[in-house]
A and B are shown apart, each in its own frame.
Chain A
Amino acid sequence: DLGLWLAAMFLLGMISMGLCYAFLVACENI
């Protein structure tokens, strides 16, 4: 339903930004 789709898309965006932050942390150790 609509609410689930909205929550899923919001989480997808947040997870993507979290992965970008994880990449920043990884860059310190390269």
Chain B
Amino acid sequence: MWLLPIALMATATALAIPLSRYAAWIMEGEYRPPRILAWFERRIDSGSQTWKQYAAALLIFNAVLFVYGFAVLALQPVMPLNPQHKGMLAPTTIFNSVASFMTNTNLQHYAGEVHLSNFSQIFFVILNQYLSAGVGFCALTAIIRAFRGQKLVGNFFADMWRVVMYMFVPAALISGVLFIQQGMPMTYQSAYQVSTLEPAAMGTTDSGQAKPQTIVVGPVGAVIPIKMLGTNGGGFYGMNSAHPLENPSAWSNFITTLDMMLFPFTLVLMYGRMLKRRRHSWVIFCVMALLMAGTIVWAIYFDTLKPNPGLTAHPASKTFTIPSARSPGGKQEFTLPAVARLPVDQHLGNLEGKELRFGTSAGATFAAVTVDVTCGAVNCEHDSLNPIAALSPMAGMWVNCIFGGKGVGMINLLLFLIVGVFLAGQMVGRTPEYLGKKVGAREMKLAMIALLVHPIMILGPTGLFAATTWGTMATNNPGAHGFSQMLYQFSSSSANNGSAFDGLAVTTGFNDNPNPPPAGRQWDIATGLVMLFSRYLPIVAPLAMAASLGYKKPTPFGLGTLRDDTTTFGCLLFGTIVVVGALLFLPVAALGPLAEHLGPIPFGG
């Protein structure tokens, strides 16, 4: 049970050390590429840019990605590689999906095997998964160069080329071979027709013949490596990493989980190598690892080691009256059935929505890791996690810096770090310093703006939807669990995570869907906007902050200087993350998972 998370953390750390050296070597431009690649590189590199030019190039690049993605999805019915003649998605779903994939979120208000053709999977999903993953990587690299005091922070397009060609493509090729060896499909065919073992399991035709089963396949082996390595999380199939063709075995589950940890771990150590402050980066790494271990232990303890509260014995049925927007009079009678002596063995914990072929703790471990590294792939049903265990993935998305997405997780941590050194400076009556430079009012303003975007983008829309029928009409569960579903959706969108709690009616799918969900359009638009603003504002402001700090003259090291490579600094950073995170999100946690855990209705509240 505990072997899986320990093995994952140890393996990811061991691989991150040499990989961080390689990443720094690539991003410093010290490599000698093959001639054909060097030819492309010379044409892409238009010269070094200031931080403003770099940020502008990043935004323009993403605007072009939006136009491209919108065109691919809108033209899906007339594109090739679509033998099943899949139609066009609803316009709001196109907006949501394009915003989702260009921001590295991969929140999916559709099911891949149902709604996307192989053309869209290749030219929309895979392309975005490589490029959106590179954006965060590039942003962190530019911030490191700015911290070093460089007026010119590199060229965005050259950096993107390096990240994709020399980091992601080789890693994805290795992972892809391992996945295909485990049985993952890799074909341009779109589906197989097979006879079922049980005759007529799929029904019979009018003439009495057994209907075949249609098993959707495609270039799964090309999608999944970059889905995980790029901490994208958007799967080929709607069931994501719980699908037997997307995650065929316990071994592929281990590689899948390791893949999503690899680059987030690597970039923290790359930060230290490029700044020549490796001890400092190890302090940050240990703080992040401690927080990740905490979320994993929390999820396993409260989910794998505790029974499902919905299946524990309630000798007598109970009836509750709860508010419900869908019921006449605004109230609904909810009866909790008697389940005494139900023949369910719960000594293995809550097994609802789990894939036991991966092991009992694999679901809880994956749930914690996927939100910590803002990947968003899922191999179990987060909606079915024990209510208090669901606090683990939510907390990971709220602080959004426990390794986090490649680059952006480290950037988010730098915001907490700046707040931490500011608080430490205030406590001893000394101007705060970081990397030997004095942190002034401008840096603090930029850090706080970037830090506050995330809670505003979560709490504002959650409050709006919880107070209107847009939210209450979409939830499948009553009370606090319904609120948790809404809260999770906006937390996932704002953290650019993309995992879903499920239980929300948000999938409109095709434009000609005769029964769209009642508030599908509102959810598409709201989560799409949250993803866009929560992606780019917290990249631009920290880049401005790093440039502002980097341009300052270094102050000499003195007795009163706060050293950034000590255990004391690690404790300060840990405390800042926990206290600021709790101050921002504990009230809303009390309304969702905590109320659900303490309330009388399992998965209700």
A17 surroundings in chain B (CB, below 8 A): 59, 62-63, 66, 532, 536
* B416 close to A (CB within 8 Å): no
Known: A21-B56, A24-B56. A30 touches B540 (CB 8 A): no
Is A2's CB under 8 angstroms from B56's CB? Answer: no
Q: How far is the CB of A25 from chain B (nearest CB, A)?
A: 9
The A contact surface, by secondary structure, is: helix
* Interface membership of B217, Cβ < 8 A: no
| Stretch with Cβ within 8 A of A (4 or more), from B89-97, B221-229, B282-290 | B89-97
* The residue from A13, A14, A21, A30 contacting B445, defined by CB atoms under 8 A apart: A30
Using A2-B511, A6-B74 as known contacts, say yes or no to A27 and B541 having CB atoms under 8 A apart: yes
A6 near B94 (CB under 8 angstroms)?
Answer: yes
Q: Is the Cβ of B91 less than 8 Å from the Cβ of A20? A: no
Cβ of B452 to closest chain A Cβ, rounded Å: 13
Q: Are B533 and A9 in contact (CB under 8 A)?
A: no
Interface set, chain B 549-605, CB cutoff 8 A to A? none
Contact with A along B43-63 (1 / 0, CB 8 A): 000000000100110010011
Are B540's CB and A16's CB within 8 A? no
Bound-state CA distance A3–B425 (Å) is 57
Interface size on B, residues (CB 8 A): 32
Known A13-B99, A14-B63; judge A24-B91 contact (CB<8 A): no
A18–B70 alpha-carbon span in the complex (Å): 17
Q: Is B397 an interface residue (CB 8 A)?
A: no
A30 and B533 contact, Cβ closer than 8 Å, known pairs A14-B66, A21-B59, A24-B540:
no
A16 touches B55 (CB 8 A): no
A13 contact from B56, B70, B537, B540, Cβ within 8 A = B70
**Contact A20-B540, Cβ < 8 Å, known A2-B91, A13-B98, A13-B99:** yes
Beta-carbon nearest neighbor of A4 in chain B: B91
Asked whether, in the complex, the Cβ of B544 is within 8 Å of the Cβ of A6, the reply is no
State the CA gap A24–B537 with chains docked (Å).
8
Contact: A8 with B91, CB < 8 Å? yes
A18 to B569, CA, bound (A): 39
Residues of A within 8 A of B70 (CB): 9-10, 13
Q: A13-B532, A17-B66, A20-B59 are in contact. Are A27 and B92 (CB under 8 A)?
A: no
Shortest CB–CB separation between residue B143 and chain A, in angstroms?
13
Known pairs A17-B532, A20-B537; A30 contacts B59 (CB<8 A)? no
Residue of A nearest to B98 (CB): A13
| B536 close to A20 (CB less than 8 A) | yes
Could you tell me if B62 and A27 are in contact, using CB atoms closer than 8 angstroms? Answer: no
With a cutoff of 8 Å between Cβ atoms, the chain A residues found around residue B59 in the complex are 17, 20-21, 24
A20 touches B532 (CB 8 A): yes
In the complex, the answer to whether B95 meets A27 with C-beta atoms within 8 Å is no
Q: Which residues of A contact B540 (CB under 8 A)?
A: 20, 23-24, 27
- A12:B95 contact, CB within 8 angstroms: yes
Query: In whole Å, how far is B300's beta carbon from the nearest beta carbon of chain A?
Result: 39
CB-CB < 8 A to A21: which residues of B? 56, 59
In whole angstroms, what is the CA distance A5 to B544 when docked?
36
A1 to B44, CA, bound (A): 41
From A9, A10, A14, A24, contact of B55 by CB (8 A) = A24
Q: Which residue of A lies closest to B99 (CB)?
A: A13
Contact bitstring B65-77, A, C-beta under 8 A = 1, else 0: 0110010001000
What is the CB-to-nearest-CB distance from A4 to chain B, in angstroms, rounded to a whole number? 9
Residues from chain A with a CB closer than 8 A to the CB of B67 are 10, 14
Other than the given A9-B94, A13-B98, A24-B540, 9 more pairs (CB < 8 A) read A5-B92, A9-B70, A16-B529, A17-B59, A17-B66, A20-B536, A21-B56, A23-B536, A30-B442
29 A-B contacts, Cβ less than 8 Å apart? Answer: A2-B511, A5-B90, A6-B91, A9-B70, A9-B95, A9-B525, A10-B95, A12-B95, A12-B529, A13-B70, A13-B98, A13-B528, A14-B63, A14-B67, A16-B529, A17-B62, A17-B63, A21-B59, A23-B540, A23-B541, A24-B52, A24-B56, A24-B544, A27-B446, A27-B540, A27-B544, A28-B52, A28-B544, A30-B446
